[in-house]
Structure formats: structure tokens, C-alpha cells
Amino acid sequence: MNSLQTVEPALDEACCAPSGQPVLSAEDARRKALVFKALSDPNRLRLLSIVKSGGSGEACVCDLTEPLDLGQPTVSHHLKILVDAGLLHREKRGTWAYYSIVPGALEQAAGLLASL
Amino acid sequence: MNSLQTVEPALDEACCAPSGQPVLSAEDARRKALVFKALSDPNRLRLLSIVKSGGSGEACVCDLTEPLDLGQPTVSHHLKILVDAGLLHREKRGTWAYYSIVPGALEQAAGLLASL
DNA sequence: CACACAGATTGACATTCATCGATATAGTTG
DNA sequence: CAACTATATCGATGAATGTCAATCTGTGTG
């Protein structure tokens, strides 16, 4: 229960703002920046791309380590950041952990730019 | 002529990709990550917000230093990053430098997420 | 021309971050 | 229960980043 859920709750306050004068509060800015920070690493973008492009819509860590040419701990670390940002969903089945894109998360992240 | 223009040329290669199997190339990922890296700082998001929300659609550095509670060199540094990322336009008139949002840049950045 | 002012650049410093090796945890199988 | 495998966590390290003080570059004004 430590995920930041930065995408979800961001809407609660953004959808009602006049999006005009009050600019962006320091707090809102901090929250939105967390999402973009998660997207600001090339390897994390590729992780999202691989997970998204996979036919099943999900991928396990072992499938992600090789194409990125990174160590397993590093991939695990990047995945955690994406999960904390609310972009990826993690489901453990047996020994494997399957990651999938949170439905609508990318669209919501894109929406953050429109509501600047 | 040192601006990276990361948003503009990204389309040249992204618009024609099948956006399916080949995942995201390391090079494409690196370029897209640059845009999100520019967006990954709270103060830069607030800068964009202020410039966008200003009635005239532009703002000079002196208008941006105070609301962010940052030093002038720091604001100047952030603005340079946003210009290099292709998000802001800089126009110098007299003693002042006016910054405005590059038309369509935010929408284009949002589009990067859809074409992952 | 001397001064004042807006903004950019430089250098330094502390913090954050990406990465890796080593280790821990948990599920599976013999 | 012991060995194995997949994944997560920890600790360390080098690189990148945000910030500031000091300085430089123009541009207007007396």
C-alpha cells in the first residue's frame, strides 16, 4: 500500500480547477512532475512499449531483461517506479510477476499536459 | 542553432512506424525521454502553466522569478531546458526576453504517449 | 560615456538517480 | 526438507541535476 497513485488523485483536483489564473499550485506541480519523471527515462519508455506491444498485454520481468540489455535488479527497479507512478499494474502469479499497463493511465498522463 | 528540437523531428520517424512489434528503438526512446525529462520538474511545469495562462500568451523572465520563488539564474536555466525541448519559444524584444508556448508542442508531447 | 537593468553564463555544491553486485524472499520441484 | 528459480531489496558508486552566488553581455537612459 505504498504506491503513490499519482495519476489517479491528480484528476480530483485538476478537473475542477478553472485552469486559468491560479496557475499550477506547487503541490499539483509536484504530483504531476512525478508522472513525467517516471516517463523521463529511455529504458522505462521502452519497458512501457514492450508491455503494451506484447500480444497478451502483459509481460514478466524475465521477458524484459534481455531486450533492454539491463540487469534484472535494474529492470525490477524501473518497474517499481512505473508502478508507483500509477502507469503499470503488477500481478504475481506463481513464481512470475506479470506487468500490464493500467487502463487509461497513458491517456490520463497525456491529459495532464492539456490541463496545465 | 543548438536547440535539440526533440519534439519536431520525433514525428518524422514516429508517424510512419507501425507502432506495433518493433517496440521502441533505443534511439526513439532516448529522444522521447528528453521531452518528458523537460517536463519532469515541478518548477518547469509551473513555468509552462504561467506562460500558458498569461493573457498575452507570453511572459518575461522577470514575471516568472517571483511566483516560483527561485533565483533569476535558476529560472533562466529552466527556461533554456524548455526551449531546447521544443516546448517554449524565446523572443527577445529590447531588454526583455519573452517566452511563449510553441503552438501544438504540448499536444505533440501528449501524442508521444499514445504512440508508445 | 557612465550607469542601471534584464537576462544569460559560469562554477561550485548538495541532492537525486541509474546501474550493478550481493543478498534476501518466496514459490516450485525433486 | 533441500535445491532451484524468479523477483525484490540493499548498499555502493559514478553520473546527472537543481540551485545559488558571482560574473558577463547587451540594451536603454541620464
Domain borders along chain A are: 25-110
Task: Give me the amino acid identity at A35.
Answer: V
**Residue A13 has which C-alpha cell?**
483536483
Give the Cα separation of B93 and A46 in Å (integer). 42
Query: Cα torsion for B76, B59, B107, A18, to the nearest 10°?
Result: 120
Query: What is the side-by-side order of every strand in the sheet holding B58-60?
Result: B58-60, B96-101, B88-93
Cell numbers 503541490 correspond to A27
Closest partner residue to B116 (CB to CB) among A36, A49, A114 is A49
From first to last of the 116 residues of chain B, give the pLDDT tens digit. 344 344 543 333 333 333 345 689 999 999 999 999 999 999 999 999 999 998 889 999 999 999 999 999 999 999 999 999 999 999 999 999 999 999 999 999 999 999 98
Write down the pLDDT at residue B22. Answer: 67
Three-class DSSP labels, B73-105: HHHHHHHHHHHHCCCEEEEEECCEEEEEECCCH
Write down the pLDDT at residue A49. Answer: 97
Instruction: Report the CATH fold assignment for B8-14+24-114.
Output: Arc Repressor Mutant, subunit A (1.10.10)
Give the Cα separation of B24 and B39 in Å (integer). 20
Write down the pLDDT at residue B54. Answer: 86
Residues of chain A contacting B33 with CB distance shorter than 8 Å? 39-42, 44-45
Write down the pLDDT at residue A11. Answer: 34
Three-state secondary structure call for residue A58: strand
Between chains, do A109 and B109 touch, taking CB under 8 Å as contact?
Answer: no
Write down the CATH number for the domain with range A25-110: 1.10.10.10
> Which nucleotide is closest to A92, CA to C1'?
D7
| B95 Cα to chain A: minimum distance (Å) | 26
- In the predicted model, residues of chain A with pLDDT beneath 50 are 1-6, 8-20
Question: Burial level of B33, CB count in 10 A (0-12/13-18/19+)?
Answer: buried
Write down the pLDDT at residue B20. Answer: 40
Cell numbers 527497479 correspond to A77
